[in-house]
Amino acid sequence: MADVVLKNVSKRMGSSQVIDGFSLDVANGEFVTLLGPSGCGKTTLLRMIAGLETVDKGDVLVGGKRYNNLPVQQRNLAMVFQSYALFPHMTVAQNIRFGLSIHKAPAETIRRKLAWSLDMFGLSGLEDRLPRQISGGQRQRVALARALVLDPDVLLLDEPLSNLDAALRDTAMEELKRIHHQVGTTIIYVTHNQVEAMTMSQRIAVLSAGRLEQYDTPRAVYDSPATRFAASFIGSPAMNFLNGAVEVHGEDAGVMTPVGFVKLDKERFTSAKAMAGRSVTVGIRPQNIAYAEHHESKRYSDTTLSVSVELVETLGDRSLVVSRGENGTALRFLITRDIDIEPQEMVEVFLDGRRVHLFDPQTNANVFSF
């Protein structure tokens, strides 16, 4: 096991700056996810750690050792690719044993590790099958087993679940968490799927265009997104954004937006007052907007807004309402399934002033975190 430190690493490919001054520290035994949209540089970063891609600038340190120019074979890392890259003509057992045989491990060690991994990954009984004779989920487990029997210091996983169907992915996420818990290997996991990142990781690194937007626990990224990008990429349905300017009216501070005056909570009055006149983008999650049928639940810091319902999408346990304010600005919120509202209806909603984020329209930084 080892910690991984990336110090200001950069990488150009062709004419584009794929990674731009990226720093990250992953503690020994930690499960960290690199999360970001397609093309933001996740695979490139993993390949730089693995030694499959050179580092233009900055340092890659694993267990305190500078890895920049260390040959791939001398790095005690294992990488599992999205495609799994199993050897198609080898059985499950031969695939798992492959790395150990290459490293000339003693026969007894190979036997013991194979038995351990078959048991750990629920592959017993499948040892003599070829990859094409097992399911996608089983193939994924063989790829993980093949990587883990080598006792790598760090396990690098590049979207290992993206080929699985939804049900299998849920099980695989639980398994991966359990395996990490039992084996304790440092894991750097790459995905564009926020659910995988939120469910499994201890910390999430949110990436956009080769840069780090935020690095924090799943909960902190959700509750206090550092940037508008992090706010929009995490959370489902996506956060609402409204442009406006901070105004103070007597005891109330808020933001004048196209859908109305959005009040901010009393606790942050002083900081809001200091921002009077400033242009901001209000961010509020659909979960923090309540349908105003239940007036008794209204708090001081709630803003009541009248919106017109455009459509209602059933999500199963809840429904997502897409509505519009007077001048056509969209606002999305959630209702429970027992509430019946119809398109074209005018309804009142409460915006929870305690859950409002303010972003700087120029820098996109969160300037009003809580």
Ligand X SMILES: Nc1ncnc2c1ncn2[C@@H]1O[C@H](COP(=O)(O)OP(=O)(O)OP(=O)(O)O)[C@@H](O)[C@H]1O
**Which of ligand X, Mg ion, none does 38 bind, CB closer than 5 to 8 A by kind?**
ligand X
DSSP letters, 31-54, are EEEEE--TTSSHHHHHHHHHTSS-
Q: How far is the CB of 83 from ligand X (least distance, A)?
A: 12
Q: How far is the CB of 210 from Mg ion (least distance, A)?
A: 13
Q: How far is the CB of 242 from ligand X (least distance, A)?
A: 30
**43 part of the interface to ligand X, by CB under 6 A:** yes
Q: How far is the CB of 274 from ligand X (least distance, A)?
A: 38
- Return the structure tokens found at 5: 């430190």
**52 part of the interface to ligand X, by CB under 6 A:** no
Which residues contact Mg ion by CB under 5 A?
43
**54 part of the interface to ligand X, by CB under 6 A:** no
Q: How many residues bind ligand X (CB under 6 A)?
A: 13
Residue 157 vs residues 138, 152, 188, 235: alpha-carbon distances, Å: 16, 12, 6, 23
**Which of Mg ion, ligand X, none does 135 bind, CB closer than 5 to 8 A by kind?**
none
Site for ligand X in 60-119 (CB under 6 A): none
Q: How far is the CB of 69 from Mg ion (least distance, A)?
A: 24
**18 part of the interface to ligand X, by CB under 6 A:** yes
Amino acid at 84: Y
Judging by DSSP bridges, how do beta strands 279-284 and 357-359 pair with one another?
antiparallel
Would you say 41 or 235 has its CB closer to ligand X? 41
CB atoms within 10 A of CB 203: 20
Residue 203 main-chain phi, psi, to 5 deg: -140, 150
Site for ligand X in 20-39 (CB under 6 A): 36, 38-39
- Angle subtended at Cα 86 by Cα 84 and Cα 92, rounded to the nearest 5 degrees: 120
Q: Return the DSSP state at 237.
A: S
> Using CA atoms, how far apart are residues 198 and 111, in angstroms rounded to an integer?
36
Site for ligand X in 183-212 (CB under 6 A): 192
By the criterion CB under 6 A, which residues form the site for ligand X?
13-14, 16, 18, 36, 38-44, 192
